[in-house]
A and B are shown apart, each in its own frame.
Chain A
Amino acid sequence: MNRQPPKWADRFLQWYCRPELLEEIQGDAYELFYRKATHHPRQAKAQFVWNVLRFFKWSNIKRTKRNYSFNSPTMIKSYLITGIRNLFRHPLNGSINILGLSLAVAIAITTFIVIDNQLHADHFHTNIDRIYQVTSYVKIDKRTEEWSDSPIMLGPAMLQEQTNIESFTRIEYGSADIRYKQNVFNEQVWFVDPSFFEIFSFPILAGDAQGLKIKNQIVLESSIAKKYFGDADPIGQSLSLKFREREKLEFIVSAVFERPTGSTLYPSLFLSMDSFQDLQPDKTNDWAYKVDGTFILLRAEHSIAEVKNHMGSFVRDQNAASHQWMVDEYHFRPFKGLGLVSHEIISSVSQGSQMEGLISLGVIASFLLILASFNYMNVTVATVATRLKEIGIRKVIGAQKKEIITQFLIENFLMCALALVAGVIISYVFMLPGFNALFPSNILFEFSSGNIMFLFFAGLLFFIGLISGAYPAFYIASFQPIEILKGKEKFGQKSLFSRVLLTFQFTFAFITMVGSFVFIDNCIHLKNKDWGYQHDNLMAVRVEEKDKYLTLRNQLTSNPNIAQLAGADNHIGKSDDKITFTHHEQQIETIDFRVGYNYLEAMNIRLVEGRTFTQTIQSDEVESVVINETFAKKLGWARPIGQMIEIDSMKRYVIGVVADFHYEGFYDVLGPAMFRVAKEDDFNFLAIQVREGHMNEVQEQVMSLWQNIAPDDTYEGFVQDDVFASFNQNNNAHVQLLTFVCLITIILASLGLLGLVFFNTTRRMKEYSIRKVMGATGSQIFQLMNKDYAIILSTAFILGAPSGFFLVNSLIQKVYPDPKGANPLPFVIAVSIMMTVVAITVITQLVRITKQSPSEVLRND
């Protein structure tokens, strides 16, 4: 039987224990072990291990007695001077290195600021932790949607019945033509409860936000105030507001507020909820009417769960009043971080960025940073050959390995600090403004707190300093001085590490490039996607009043440049209604357009079968409907013509089917859509089909006509191409951003490659010279040089390209409903760009070899 204590524990004890204490400690441990070992060998072993571990404390641990003198200020000064001199001795190499690193650092800084900004959005509200939005879970067609909208009665009712709510505010959008002297603009206004400014902390620049308690007072955002009043004091001034189909109303400006850059709420004008009640008296006491958002302020020290448990009666109240939209339950969304999940809420009041986007940005930035650091490391290792003598001499004079490591690390941190400074400048001057221009945003070069800024910069410096500097420092320090000084150190023979590193680098490069190209490909696909109708010869004007509509239409009918005219209640791409109806006990949700008789023809909507509305057929107005293909598919109709549906207990018969068309950008799946005939009284838009090549002319004519017809109203005409302008702008921004990322990746990868190829050709110069003397041709040497890189490149491609593809493809699948399928193009482009870059790099070196006379090289030895 084994009566010995566990060997590993004993060895561990011997390893850590101070030699002068070892004997007694080990002795005691052994004694205790032997005492027990005869009867309980297993327990004895466990006890031995336990004792060894318990003895492992500071007072018992071996300490080295060596003295470190390297940290004397003189030496650090010397290291710095050597480092700077070395930088100036190889200015090209040094600046390429720093440039590469600083580009990556600038991207990292910019990305961090953007992400930091988004994650800390809305944090200027002092009550942010106590603010919640009440959203409604609405069941539609077997699935549940989360709506930002909630009953207008909900806020007041909750405040009355629940003691743990301090206050609430509702938000209801409205639209008004606002005039001050000669300036008329159409603006979105927010009707809110007076407690809005107690809940949210938008800074008040002038006046008093208490004004919201009084009817006919208005609160403006600072840029809006500037738009109307210039530099004059807006407080006490009067603005006239004209709501649709209402008389002009006068409002007094009571306060001006500022919307900080980190806000995910975008209010510009506030009116009091009382004004809304004056405008729509029938809606204010109706549980069926929904406002666009309800926010509550929880009392301090209370939890939202208490509120949640008492919502049942409000669900019943709402469902008793409205049968169309049945609410399952109310949900409470914390205002903190609401922006990040705003895409999950239908027509959310808060608008922030999606988490996926932020994560992708962060991943890209980290990739580039790692890429640049590897680059730097590779080039440092490669160029260390120039400093072998220095290291040898230092070692002979008495430098220890650790001191050499310290020297190189310090030098490296110096370079990284330079890169950091350059990175801050690049980020501040170019990248952040560039980003703000790309995605219209107004992110300032600032951090959410001083601590975060300090931690970020310290972490960044540490990260790049260590990643790029650790290996070279350790590698260099391990040289034997005698070998170096004898000239025997065959430096760089074991370049396996460099190759692995280069493979990694190119793998990263391929991941980034293939990923970007896949994404760009998808963006281009979306941009060129068929809208479902021809839209380039269309324009429309918003005309909300019947007499003005008729005047404008009549004046345009004779215009020879206009092919067709049609009125509509909703206009494709601008506005639509969502309705539900029941069909065979299945609840169907559909987009509902109410249009004039020849609207479908004017809008170039493609008819698939049946017919469109005809004015001469009287039944069309009351019981006909034209549906899109998805609608027919959804209801499972093989022959849709003549089918009947019932909407609001009115029978409607399908008379025509049109091809699917896009009505709301490309992020959402195309759903069922239908057209019904609307009365002229309800028209909001005049759609105009212009004859080829007369678009600008017609636009000007319409505008001047409008100014004569309705001098008080804002002119709101637009070409149909612009209805998805914000989508397209976003899309273009993505393309530009990713092209930029690709460019940087290629620059970084090729810089790294250049450094390495340069070094390798230098190392093998003698070999190439002999080959040349023996009669090798340029192309033979080219092949020889390329063999290595071909292997590295193909390995990197095999590893990187598929990962890049799958990574980005899964992202695309998540964001877009109808992505472009797999496509060989991104791979082909990535490979050909990389091949070109590698070829160019290698060829520059080949030129160097061919120009070099072999006798020069060989004579030197």
Chain B
Amino acid sequence: MKGNYLGELEELVLLHVGILYPTAYGVAVMDEIEKQAGRSLNISAVHSVLTRLEEKGFLKSKMSDPTEERGGRRKRIFLLTAAGKRALEEAIELRTQLFNQIPKVALQFRLA
């Protein structure tokens, strides 16, 4: 089941690749995660996750045009695949389903 399992960080990155469509690449994903989720990651960590997601088939990638701010180098643009979309849906559905099963009482917090 290694192929289907989605880790927490993987899920976060996957979501952000979706959000940034069609300009998701390493630095952009890193910045966006910091902005949206408030988590600051190292660029190398983002790279590893992106590579892993691509290996699992949840992402595909292509090279962009050369850009000036990178000293004339190209970016690797990541895009969600169908499998990636399904994996996200499953993950979110599972969460909602589980959350709904929590009895109401457990969620009523009072000052005791």
Contact = CB atoms under 8 A, between A and B. Distances in A.
B25 A57 contact: no
B4 interface: no
Contact of A24 (B26, B42, B69, B71): B26
A573 B69 CA distance: 93
B20 interface: no
B42 A34 contact: no
A31 B51 CA distance: 19
Interface in B37-55: 42-45, 47-48, 51
Contacts of B76: 23-24
Interface string A137-153: 00000000000000000
B70 interface: yes
A30 interface: yes
A25 B71 contact: no
A89 interface: no
Given A31-B27, A31-B69, A57-B48, A24 B43 contact: no
B75 interface: yes
A54 interface: yes
Contact of B73 (A30, A55, A60): A30
A32 B29 CA distance: 13
Nearest to A34: B69
A51 interface: yes
B43 A30 contact: no
Given A24-B26, A32-B27, A59-B48, A54 B70 contact: no
B71 A57 contact: no
Given A34-B69, A59-B51, A27 B44 contact: no
Interface string A58-75: 011000000000000000
B48 to A, nearest CB: 7
Interface in B51-76: 51, 63, 67, 69-71, 73-76
Chain A interface residue bracket vs B: 10 to 19
A561 interface: no
Contacts of B43: 28-29, 32, 51, 54-55
A480 interface: no
A28 B47 CA distance: 10
A29 B75 CA distance: 11
A58 to B, nearest CB: 10
A30 to B, nearest CB: 5
Nearest to A51: B43
A26 interface: yes
Contact of B74 (A23, A32, A60): A23
Interface string A143-177: 00000000000000000000000000000000000
Contact of A27 (B45, B48, B71): B71
A28 B42 contact: no
Given A55-B47, A59-B48, A59-B51, A27 B73 contact: yes
Contacts of B71: 26-27, 30, 34
B48 A24 contact: no
A28 B71 CA distance: 10
A24 B75 contact: yes
Contact of A30 (B25, B48, B63, B70): B70
A162 to B, nearest CB: 52
Contacts of A29: 43
A27 B42 contact: no
Contacts of B75: 24, 27
A27 B74 CA distance: 7
Most buried by A among B25, B51, B73: B73
Contacts of B69: 30-31, 34-35
Contacts of A23: 63, 73-74, 76
A34 B70 CA distance: 8
A60 B43 CA distance: 13
A32 B26 CA distance: 10
Interface in B9-38: 25-27
A162 B71 CA distance: 78
Contacts of A28: 25-27, 43, 47, 70
Contacts of A55: 43-44, 47
A23 B26 CA distance: 12
Interface in A768-785: none
Given A31-B27, A32-B27, A24 B44 contact: no
Contact of B70 (A31, A51, A59): A31
Contacts of A24: 25-26, 47, 63, 73-76
B25 to A, nearest CB: 7
Nearest to A50: B42
B51 to A, nearest CB: 7
Contacts of A51: 42-44
Given A25-B47, A32-B27, A54 B73 contact: no
A24 B67 CA distance: 12
A605 to B, nearest CB: 86
A126 to B, nearest CB: 50
A666 B108 CA distance: 90
A31 B26 CA distance: 10
Interface in A22-55: 23-32, 34-35, 51, 54-55
Contacts of A60: 47
Nearest to A29: B43
Contacts of B26: 24, 28
A235 B70 CA distance: 94
A29, A31, A34, A60, most chain B CB atoms within 10 A: A31
Interface string A105-127: 00000000000000000000000
Contacts of A54: 42-45
Contacts of A26: 71, 73
A32 B69 CA distance: 9
B97 to A, nearest CB: 35
A646 B74 CA distance: 102
Contacts of B27: 28, 31-32
B44 A57 contact: yes
A548 B39 CA distance: 100
Contacts of A31: 27, 69-70
Contacts of B67: 27
A24 B43 CA distance: 11
A25 B69 CA distance: 14
B47 A27 contact: no
A27 B27 CA distance: 9
A28 B42 CA distance: 11
A384 B55 CA distance: 52
A26 B26 CA distance: 11
Interface in A1-34: 23-32, 34
Nearest to B71: A30
B34 to A, nearest CB: 12
Given A26-B71, A55-B47, A60-B47, 10 more contacts: A24-B47, A24-B63, A24-B75, A27-B70, A29-B43, A30-B73, A31-B70, A51-B42, A54-B42, A55-B44
Interface of A: 23-32, 34-35, 51, 54-55, 57, 59-60
What are the nearest 9 A-B pairs in CB distance? A27-B73, A54-B44, A27-B70, A24-B76, A28-B26, A55-B44, A30-B71, A31-B70, A28-B27
6 contacts: A24-B63, A27-B73, A28-B27, A30-B71, A31-B70, A32-B27
